[in-house]
Amino acid sequence: MAIRIRLGDYERQTDDALGRDAIGYFPRMTETEAWEAGRGLWRLNLKVVSRERFAVIVGQDLVRAVAGITDVTAHMTGLGPKKALEGDLLGPGHPMYDRYINQPDPLANDSRNSIAYGDLPEEAQFRTRDCACGCDQSTTHDFVPGHELRAIQARVREHFGGSVLSFITWLDAELQSTNTGA
């Protein structure tokens, strides 16, 4: 599935968590500007959006940018926690770009919600990827089922001499220092 983000009207921003001075669509914006305006900040379900591989940014009912998603980051805003997409713009020669750039919104609907998810035929070839544990198996998620534990155990062995207690103690200390700003 891909995520479609529909841009609203252009508006100036101050104190934006992503450091942007404006969001929204304006005529003649570049693909880079469309990506920066559209990649965040949104109320996104992390479990759902973390499975997405591609983002389609729409302005005035046309696709203005297509990006490959590499990460989802959390940000605190004046309206509470929101998410932003991290990724790389796609260009000519990529099937998703070639099919959708400057074309009508492929996930158009009657919803007022700027976010939509949907299957796009061109992304089918990209749905499988290597398991993140390094086992060389393919999956449609980050890990083959059960392999996330394998990856954690490998890191505990490598960095903490196999001691789960050492890992938990270290993690608690890191989280504490992050929360206190140390």
pLDDT in tens, 27-75: 999 999 999 999 989 999 888 888 888 999 999 999 999 999 999 999 9
11-28 pLDDT per residue, tens: 998 888 999 998 999 999
pLDDT, one tens digit per residue, over 85-99 is 999 999 999 999 999
| In the chain, where the domains are located | 2-127, 138-180
Q: How confident is the model at residue 143 (pLDDT cuts 50, 70, 90)?
A: confident
Q: How many CA atoms lie within 13 A of 70 on its CB side?
A: 5
Nearest in space to 49 (alpha carbons), one of 117, 97, 114, 132:
117
pLDDT of residue 125: 80
* CA 121 distance to own-chain centroid: 20
Strand partners, 117: 3
Tell me: pLDDT of 175 over 70.
yes
